[in-house]
Chains A and B, each alone.
Chain A
Amino acid sequence: MRELVVISGKGGTGKTSVTASFAVLADRPVIADCDVDAADLHLVLSPRVKERHEFWSGREAVIRQEDCNGCGICLSECRFDAVIKDGAAAGHEQFSIDPVSCEGCGVCARFCPQEAIDMRERLCGEWMISETRCGPMVHARLGVAAENSGKLVTTVRQEARRIAEEQNRSIVIVDGPPGIGCPVIASLTGATQVLVVTEPTVSGEHDLERVLSLTRHFKIPAAVCVNKWDLNPEMTQLIEGKARVAGASVAGRIRYDSAVTRAQMMERAIVETPAHCAEDFRRVWDELNA
Chain B
Amino acid sequence: MDILDLSIREMRQALEEGRTTPKELLEKALERAKKDDCNAFESILEKEAYEALEGLGKNSGPLYGIPYLTKDNFSVKGIETVASSNILKGYRPLYDATVTRKLKEAGAILIGQTTMDELAMGGTGMSGHLGYTYNPYDPSHKRMVGGSSSGSAAAMAEAVVPFATGSDTGDSVRRPASLAGLVGVKPTWGRISRYGLFPFAPSLDHVGYFTRYVEDAALLLGVLAGHDPHDMTSSHRPIEDYAAYLDGNIKGKTFVRILDIEESLSDKRLLEALDRLSEELIKRGAVIKKERFGKDLLESLYATYIVISCAEATSNDANLDGIKFGPYYEGKTYDEAMRKARTAGFGELIKRRFVIGSFALMKENQDVLFLRAQRNRAKVVARLNELLALGDALLIPAASGVAPEFEAGGDKLSDEYLIADNHLVLGNFGGLPSISLPLAFENGLPLGVSLTLAPFKEGEMFRLASVIEDITGLRGLSVLNRKEGNL
Chains A and B form a bound pair: no
- A→B interface (CB under 8 Å): none
